């Protein structure tokens, strides 16, 4: 009362009794439990951002397989850098890889562009090769002395650097390629290389010019072998001299007969520019937004498949553990006593079994009969429900002696009704939160098992993010994109699901209901 007496009189204002009506009611809109949880979740900015990122990743996994990306494996384009025809004009996703080359290797890469411009075997200048569409060397960035040799740092389009390959085709396919060349103006078939002393590797279709030991290019001048340097070619003082197979009239030979007796069965050995042969076979130029994996599959598509598999396994495990853990924990917490004691000892025994041992044993003894994924699910479910059961048990001990539970029991409600209609709904928030937090753990464990090779989830139709990381583990320093993209997705999934779960935990916490943050 002393404090009230100290309040100045001018702070008070008399109400106008004419404005007061006893018929008026103070109206409020009731806010339900889930709506209140949603409002509080939306105030947690980190959780909202995490949820948005999760949605984006899920949409990526669902939409990318529907975009018509190549689902086949191409061994010639394995471990390729990201390449996109629309973005390469602005210097992004060029398919380029920066490496160090000695003089002979740099000449070989430059020569592929020149050879692609010379389908008739008539010769081509160095400048024409440099400006050609199929020139793999994007830029020479620097050069440095290494002993007595020069070492060049150059960026090379890895797709065009594949160059030429030898291939066996039927006579009919040879005719089809000729027709396709005439229709499109793209050259696939190129002259064969002579198998003489100037062909240092008869299995390599890229050695089209005369060479001697250590792949040194030479020209034959007055019966003498004159070595050609990179500077000679750049200055225009010399041209590479082809080493093509030619007939009696001096015309280049494009195929050799290797067997078969009819038009359909006759086999030809040909030399093709693989880039255009890819276009001939598939109807589009090779472009992979995230590059290709270690086997030659589209990495963007493989990552989408891996995300699908990881999320599918994680959601299945989370749902199964939710059901098993909720039932097990509800029985423990509600009945207590000897039942709780026995069930807790069972949980303790199972929780003491190392998960990696269980997963390994299941893969050894069950994978052959049931498959890798069912065996993996069994391993996760065997002990994964224990944490959910413990949380549920704690919640039931908390609520089972509440007044509303005692009132329901007094009115004759059965145990089953009390458990599932009265206690369980109040524990739902905590249980759901624990189930969501299981997901990142499952994704991490599945990736770890795949990375270690304990679980084999790689195949033409299926893969996992852990398998992609495992394939890249020994070559990631040279092909960093194989490690960066899958690792980034796993990291985002782990972080975002944890933030999302924390947001759900706070949103469903009954003690925070109605509290303004």
Handedness of CA 125, 216, 109, 298 (dihedral sign): positive
pLDDT in tens, 280-337: 999 999 999 999 998 999 999 999 999 999 899 889 998 998 899 989 998 998 888 8
At residue 124, the pLDDT reads 85
At residue 281, the pLDDT reads 94
| The CA-based dihedral angle spanning residues 295, 300, 303, 308, taken in that order and rounded to the nearest 10 degrees | -130
With bands split at pLDDT 50, 70 and 90, how would you rate the model's confidence at 517? Answer: very low
At residue 3, the pLDDT reads 58
Summarize the confidence of residues 109-120 as an average pLDDT. 92
What is the C-alpha to C-alpha distance for residues 435 and 451, in angstroms, rounded to an integer? 25
Residue that wins the pLDDT comparison between 9 and 274 = 274
Asked if the model's pLDDT at residue 437 lies above 90, the reply is no
Q: What is the CA radius of gyration of the chain?
A: 35
Q: Judging by beta carbons within 10 Å of its beta carbon (0-12, 13-18, 19+), is residue 64 exposed, middle or buried?
A: buried
Q: Residues spanned by CATH 1.10.3720.10 within the chain?
A: 49-63+297-512
Summarize the confidence of residues 158-184 as an average pLDDT. 94
pTM of the model: 0.82
Spatial strand order in the sheet of 149-157: 96-102, 149-157, 137-146
Asked if the model's pLDDT at residue 460 lies above 80, the reply is no
Average pLDDT over all residues of the chain? 86
Asked if the model's pLDDT at residue 101 lies above 90, the reply is yes
217, 242 contact by CB (below 8 A): no
Asked if the model's pLDDT at residue 342 lies above 70, the reply is yes
Q: What share of the chain has pLDDT > 90, as a percent?
A: 40
CA distances to 173, 358, 497 from 121, rounded to whole Å, are 22, 64, 60
Pick from 1-5, 93-97, 475-479 the range whose average pLDDT is largest.
93-97
At residue 447, the pLDDT reads 87
pLDDT in tens, 269-281: 999 999 999 999 9
337-340: long-range pairs with CB below 8 Å, 24+? 340/393
At residue 514, the pLDDT reads 52
What is the C-alpha to C-alpha distance for residues 209 and 191, in angstroms, rounded to an integer? 12
Which residue spans within 93-183 are E strands per DSSP?
96-102, 137-146, 149-157, 164-170
What is the C-alpha to C-alpha distance for residues 72 and 68, in angstroms, rounded to an integer? 11
* DSSP letter, residue 149: E
pLDDT in tens, 253-271: 999 998 877 767 789 999 9
Q: Which residue has the tokens 């590797």?
A: 201
Summarize the confidence of residues 40-68 as an average pLDDT. 92
Q: Which CATH class is domain 49-63+297-512?
A: mainly alpha
What is the C-alpha to C-alpha distance for residues 384 and 376, in angstroms, rounded to an integer? 12
pLDDT in tens, 357-395: 888 888 888 887 888 888 888 888 888 888 889 988 988
Pick from 36-40, 212-216, 244-248, 348-352 the range whose average pLDDT is largest.
244-248
Residue 283's region, left for phi above 0, alpha for psi from -120 to 50, else beta, is left
At residue 283, the pLDDT reads 93
Look at strands 164-170 and 96-102 and give their pairing: unpaired
Q: For the ranges 222-226, 237-241, 304-308, 452-456, which has the lowest average pLDDT?
A: 452-456
* DSSP letter, residue 422: I
What is the C-alpha to C-alpha distance for residues 488 and 346, in angstroms, rounded to an integer? 39
For residue 242, the tally of other CB atoms under 10 A from its CB is 22
pLDDT in tens, 134-158: 999 999 998 888 777 889 999 999 9
The 3-state DSSP class for residue 99 equals strand
At residue 458, the pLDDT reads 73
For residue 148, the tally of other CB atoms under 10 A from its CB is 5
For residue 28, give both structure tokens.
């409020």
At residue 412, the pLDDT reads 84
For residue 113, give both structure tokens.
């562009």
Residue 226's region, left for phi above 0, alpha for psi from -120 to 50, else beta, is beta
């Amino acid at each position: 009362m002393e404090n009230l007496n100290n309040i100045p009189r001018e702070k008070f204002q008399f109400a106008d009794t004419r404005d007061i009506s006893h018929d008026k009611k103070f109206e409020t809109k009731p806010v339900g439990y889930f709506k209140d949880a949603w409002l509080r979740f939306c105030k947690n900015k980190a959780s909202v951002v995490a949820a948005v990122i999760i949605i984006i990743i899920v949409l990526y996994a669902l939409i990318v397989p529907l975009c018509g990306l190549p689902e086949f494996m191409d061994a010639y384009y394995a471990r390729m850098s990201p390449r996109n025809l629309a973005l390469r004009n602005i210097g992004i996703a060029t398919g380029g890889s920066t490496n160090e080359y000695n003089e002979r290797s740099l000449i070989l890469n430059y020569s592929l562009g020149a050879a692609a411009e010379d389908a008739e075997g008539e010769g081509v200048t160095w400048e024409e090769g440099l400006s050609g569409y199929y020139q793999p060397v994007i830029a020479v960035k620097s050069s440095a002395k290494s002993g007595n040799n020069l070492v060049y740092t150059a960026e090379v389009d890895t797709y065009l650097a594949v160059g030429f390959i030898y291939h066996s085709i039927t006579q009919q396919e040879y005719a089809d390629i000729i027709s396709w060349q005439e229709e499109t103006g793209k050259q696939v078939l190129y002259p064969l290389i002579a198998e003489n002393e100037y062909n240092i590797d008869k299995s390599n279709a890229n050695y089209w010019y005369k060479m001697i030991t250590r792949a040194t290019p030479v020209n034959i001048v007055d019966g003498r072998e004159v070595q050609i340097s990179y500077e000679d070619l750049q200055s225009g003082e010399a041209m590479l001299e082809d080493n093509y197979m030619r007939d009696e009239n001096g015309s280049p030979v494009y195929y050799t007969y290797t067997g078969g007796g009819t038009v359909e069965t006759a086999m030809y050995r040909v030399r093709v520019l693989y880039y255009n042969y890819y276009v001939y076979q598939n109807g589009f130029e090779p472009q992979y937004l995230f590059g290709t994996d270690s086997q030659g599959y589209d990495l963007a598509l493989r990552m989408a498949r891996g995300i699908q598999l990881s999320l599918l396994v994680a959601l299945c495990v989370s749902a199964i553990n939710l059901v098993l853990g909720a039932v097990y924990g509800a029985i423990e917490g509600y009945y207590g006593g000897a039942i709780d004691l026995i069930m807790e000892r069972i949980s303790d025994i199972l929780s003491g079994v190392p998960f990696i041992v269980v997963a390994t044993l299941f893969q050894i003894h069950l994978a052959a009969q049931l498959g890798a994924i069912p065996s993996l699910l069994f391993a996760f479910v065997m002990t994964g429900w224990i944490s959910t059961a413990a949380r549920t048990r704690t919640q039931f001990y908390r609520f089972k002696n509440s007044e509303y539970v005692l009132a329901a029991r007094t009115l004759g409600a059965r145990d089953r009704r009390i458990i599932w209609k009265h206690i369980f709904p109040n524990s739902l928030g905590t249980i759901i939160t624990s189930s969501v937090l299981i997901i990142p753990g499952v994704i991490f464990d599945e990736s770890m098992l795949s990375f270690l090779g304990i679980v084999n989830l790689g195949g033409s139709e299926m893969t996992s993010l852990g398998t992609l990381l495992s394939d890249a583990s020994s070559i990631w320093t040279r092909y960093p994109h194989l490690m960066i993209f899958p690792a980034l997705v796993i990291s985002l999934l782990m972080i975002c699901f944890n933030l999302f779960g924390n947001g759900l935990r706070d949103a469903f916490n009954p003690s925070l209901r109605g509290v303004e943050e």
